Amino acid sequence: MIVAKRKPFDEIRQLLKGYKKVLNVGCGTCVAVCLAGGEKEVSVLNAELDMAGKLDNTPIEIAGITIERQCDREYLEALDSKVGNYEALLSMACGAGIQFLAERYPQIPVLPAVDTTFIGVNQAVGWYEERCRSCSSCVLGHTGGICPVTMCAKGLYNGPCGGTNKGSCEIDTNQPCAWYMIYERLKGQGRLDCILEISPPNDWQNQIPRTVIQPGYSKPEAAAK
């Protein structure tokens, strides 16, 4: 899932400065699961904003709504009849969701309440770790299911570098060396031949905005224009 974390409260207040009537839009998918921007977080943030506004005499009328997914038109539609009543929208969705929201209502300022952080896993409730940089050219088949692009601090394709320190990365003893893990896992599987071959320079595909059209589908005429 996409993991996000709430922005510092003061930063959110700074973004909202001058707006008196705001709708906080949560997202019920990834950011809800990682406890950053779902229904609960929307109401907590709204309560804090309401209280802070009252305390320093800059009252703000803030409403909340959480839709299933902000990255999906089907769910955004539910907001069409509501957004006209607000001066600004605050979004607790990921960077993709908030942009889709802003795109749908271009006349209304849309402000982020979270920092989108990574594509990661749920280690335990409230504990998430990054696993994928969405590079568009997955090498996991050769690296024992451990991503060197994400998990190696230098993103090396032919590691490990000389900084491996008793199995940890040179940047931090608490950070395991990705290539040490790759080696250990492949060795356990009897597949070290996978990394004997030189991995050639990567054909970076994440340097421009990417579009995916699945086989059998096409862009609708209107969107293509």
Partner 1 sequence: MKSGSNLEKILKAGHFAFTGELGPPRGTGAEEVRHKASFLKGNVDAVNITDNQTAVVRMSSWAASLIVLQEGLEPNYQMVCRDRNRLAMQSDILGAYTLGIRNMLCLSGDHQKFGDHPQAKGVFDIDSMQLIGMVKKMRDEGKFLGGTEILNPPQIFIGAAANPFADPFEWRVHRLAKKIASGVDFVQTQCIYNMEKFRAFIKQANDMGLTEKVYILAGVTPMKSVGMAKYMKSKVPGMDVPDDIIKRLQGVDKTKVADEGIKIACEQIEEFKEMKGVAGVHLMAIEWEHKVPEIAERAKVLPRPVID
Token couple for 29:
């998918």
Token couple for 186:
């492949």
DSSP structure class, residue 53: H
Pick the piece of the chain touching partner 1 (CB under 8 A) from 78-86, 120-128, 132-140, 158-166: 158-166
Residue 87 found at the interface with partner 1 (CB under 8 A):
no
Strand ranges in the chain using DSSP code E only, listed in sequence order: 2-6, 21-27, 61-67, 88-91, 110-112, 114-124, 127-132, 168-169, 172-176
Q: Contacting partner 1 (CB under 8 A), which of 14, 134, 137, 158?
A: 158
Residue 156 found at the interface with partner 1 (CB under 8 A):
yes
Judged by CB under 8 A, the number of residues near partner 1 is 29
Instruction: Kindly state the smallest distance separating residue 210's Cβ from partner 1, in Å.
Output: 18
Instruction: Kindly state the smallest distance separating residue 179's Cβ from partner 1, in Å.
Output: 9
The pattern of x and - marking residues 182 through 211 that bind partner 1 according to CB under 8 A reads -xx-------x---x-xxxxx-x-------
The pattern of x and - marking residues 42 through 71 that bind partner 1 according to CB under 8 A reads ------------------------------
Strand ranges in 30-155 using DSSP code E only, listed in sequence order: 61-67, 88-91, 110-112, 114-124, 127-132
- Separation CA 24–CA 2 (nearest Å): 19
